[in-house]
Amino acid sequence: MVDERFVRRSLLLAVLLGLLAGAMAFAFGHDRLADWLWRGATVPVVIVLAISIIRSLLARRLGVDAIALLAMAGAIALNQSLAAIVIAIMYTGGTVLEDYAVARAERNLKALIDRAPTIALRRHGGVTEQVPISSIAIGNTIVVRAGEIVPVDGLIRSPTAVIDESALTGEPIPVTRALGESARSGTLNAGDTFEMTAVATAEDSTYAGIVRLVTAAQTAKAPFIRLADRYALLLLPVSLLVAGLAWAISGEAVRALAVLVVATPCPLILAAPVAFIAGVSQAAHRGIIIKGGAPLDALAQTHTVLFDKTGTLTVGGARLVAIETGPGESADEVLRLAASLEQASQHVVADAIVAAAVAKGLALRMPSQVHEVMGSGLEGIVEGKCVRAGSHQLIFGTHRPDDWAQRALRRASWRSALSVFVSIDGRIAGALLLGDELRKETPRAVQSLRAAGITRIVMVSGDRADAAETIAAALDIDAVLSDRDPSDKVDAVAMESRLHPTLMVGDGINDAPALAAADVGVALGARGAGASSEAADVVIIVDRLDRVSEAVSIARRSRRIAVQSIVVGMGLSGIAMAAAAVGWLEPVAGALTQEAIDVAVIVNALRALRPQWRAAKGAVLGKMARELGEQHRLLEEDLDKLLQISDDLDDAEGQKAVDLILRAHRLVEDSVVTHERDDETIIYPRLTKYLADGHGLSAMSRAHREILHQARLLARIASELRAEDADKYLVRDAQRVIGSIEALVRIHNAQEDDIYEHVVQA
């Protein structure tokens, strides 16, 4: 198969040598030889271009290259050999310049493909051997040395592993993965050697799927190119008409030639593919794989976005959202004993309880004599204690739940959460509330879509109405469609698509039909969901919902740049055509003018390759945002303790109430006050220089002042507090202040997280 890029480079080299040889002959007075050298160097370009145009016509396509062919052929016919070879250089140089620009734009895509691993170190029976990754089977032990690429998807067996995921996610800071966490193929071991257990074959691993998606994206034709072809249908007859009029009015065929030279439509030929590939490449660098040109064009024109709820807007699955305890009970101890018991169960709720305990660093013990109780819970022995965990009907039986348990059930109802009550040696100790909750970035993702120009946002869910409304209440959602099965989701997508171009976002197998039905289907593919990834037009390979708005923004910017390049380039060509028609531009000067226009068009189209955010700043602030996020996570644990103290004050009197209030005061002073003061004096001054104005941080500083004010009120309550002072009115005042601090800090932290993420991506 002929390498078209090699042919184009060879033609450019030939015409450059022909121009130089002809110039030397002309300098030594051999005008006739110079004419033949220039003419001879142009003819191969004419032949190759003619063959290309014939192929296009046979495929029922009329490209804009026809004008370039007419210009070169006309120059040769009119004995304008110098003009002919300059046009040939302009055309071949433009195509080679396009090759370079496209190659540069494809760099991110090519880097993904080129770094695909081919071998792996497999350990079996104490022996480590190097094998092709195609021979890796599920369950094999894989050794990943420092600096090596993870060959297949697996679970880490070492205590920790430091992994650079930038090739997949675009995030520059390596992440630390713990024992049992996943390592995805294609990521880089940025730390010490670690071991992992393969959970997928090479063909089914994350990276193989990404390579398939990237290959498909590279081979698809951009709609922008088809857009250029549509412009050509208008440009070709207009150019011939102007050239004919110039010839007819002036009587000089050279003027017609000059018009055709400057009409050579390189802006149309070059701008479209460069901007398209640049946009796809930029998206890939951010962990967004767009499967070709049609999805990119459709993304750019999206009006309505439909979101699945579970696993898309929310984290998906059961998560521990709160621990309610009886009087005098420890929340951590309730969770530890329940999780120890639940280790014997394979239920998804049991997995969530165990995961929550492990995340808190609680020491679990293996249970004994475990058996299921009436299908609604477990019972067993943990550290010599009889522990039960299950529904409130199981734990309370026919008895009326205690007041604190009634409160727990009420709070579970408010949050659409499942409650798992725990009893220890017959004593009802607490309740674990499990439910689905919003992803941390979901509110920001929805706001970003609005900022990107999306007009309508709809949530479509298979969940019941109250659970769906609970989630939607926290978001800027235009409509909520609940109790929808997969076929209902398809109907919802079809209805919205009839009105406006529609984008559907989902993550599960049940979302695949709706993704396929939408104008653009976007799958969150970081967690697998092969069926949805196959059905989708766009796959986001990093577990971040806010990349949906980035995909829309990148697509719109790429299309805008392509159209802008076409319109401005052809506008300049139109001005040059007018100048040539009245005799102000000779053919050679016109060719040089057109070449300058081509270069400007290429440079402008390459802007689609450059992100709208500043990468260097993003890397620095990205690290800062992660550090602050970790501080907020630790602060959340103290806020949970404050909430528990507020609840415990319900039944507290005398010295017990004093001890709880003093404990809350110490927590606030040591944790909350210290954090807010550090934010105000250290973090905010560092952020100010990255913001267009300081209004946002000024508002956040106002929140700092209110939090510190509430902390001072709590300090005054706690000051010299004695048991005899702790009447019900003082306890109620303390509860109000503690509750205010807890609520204020939670919403303040969420707002700060939004600001930090905005600054990183701005």
Residues in the chain: 762
Tokens of 626: 């992660």
Per 3-state DSSP, the chain is made up of helix, strand and coil in percentages (nearest 5) of 60, 15, 25
Biggest CA pair distance of the chain: 117
Q: Is 114 a catalytic residue?
A: no
Rounded-to-integer distance, Cα 421 and Cα 33, Å? 99
First to last CA, the chain: 45
Task: Specify the DSSP class assigned to residue 673.
Answer: I
Task: Specify the DSSP class assigned to residue 361.
Answer: T
Q: Which helix (H) or strand (E) holds 163?
A: strand 160-164
Q: Which helix (H) or strand (E) holds 654?
A: helix 654-667
Collapsing DSSP to helix, strand or coil, 431 comes out as: strand
Query: Contact, 66 vs 243, CB < 8 A?
Result: no
Query: Contact, 198 vs 144, CB < 8 A?
Result: no
Q: Say how far residue 508 (Cα) sits from the centre of its chain.
A: 17
Residue 261 carries which side chain, given as an amino acid letter? V
Q: What is the dihedral of CA 628, 632, 634, 635, to 10 degrees?
A: 130
Rounded-to-integer distance, Cα 626 and Cα 757, Å? 10
Output 700-706 pairs: Cβ under 8 A, ≥24 positions apart: 700/748, 700/751, 700/752, 700/755, 703/744, 703/748, 703/751, 704/676, 704/677, 704/679, 704/680, 704/748, 706/744
Residue 673 carries which side chain, given as an amino acid letter? V
Rounded-to-integer distance, Cα 617 and Cα 627, Å? 16
Rounded-to-integer distance, Cα 109 and Cα 724, Å? 72
Rounded-to-integer distance, Cα 335 and Cα 331, Å? 6
Ramachandran angles phi, psi of 737, nearest 5°: -65, -45
Rounded-to-integer distance, Cα 32 and Cα 29, Å? 9
Tokens of 36: 């033949």
CA–CA distances in Å: residue 753 to residues 283, 314, 624: 24, 17, 11
Task: Specify the DSSP class assigned to residue 439.
Answer: -
Rounded-to-integer distance, Cα 442 and Cα 448, Å? 10
Ramachandran angles phi, psi of 66, nearest 5°: -60, -35
Query: Contact, 566 vs 235, CB < 8 A?
Result: no
Closest CA to 115 of 284, 246, 313, 233: 284
Output 673-681 pairs: Cβ under 8 A, ≥24 positions apart: 673/707, 673/708, 673/711, 675/631, 675/635, 676/704, 676/707, 676/708, 676/745, 677/704, 677/708, 679/704, 679/752, 680/704
Catalytic residue, from 153, 164, 308, 679: name it.
308
Output 343-347 pairs: Cβ under 8 A, ≥24 positions apart: 343/367, 344/370, 344/378, 344/380, 345/378
Strand extents, DSSP E, 486-553? 502-506, 520-524, 538-540
Q: Which residues are catalytic?
A: 308
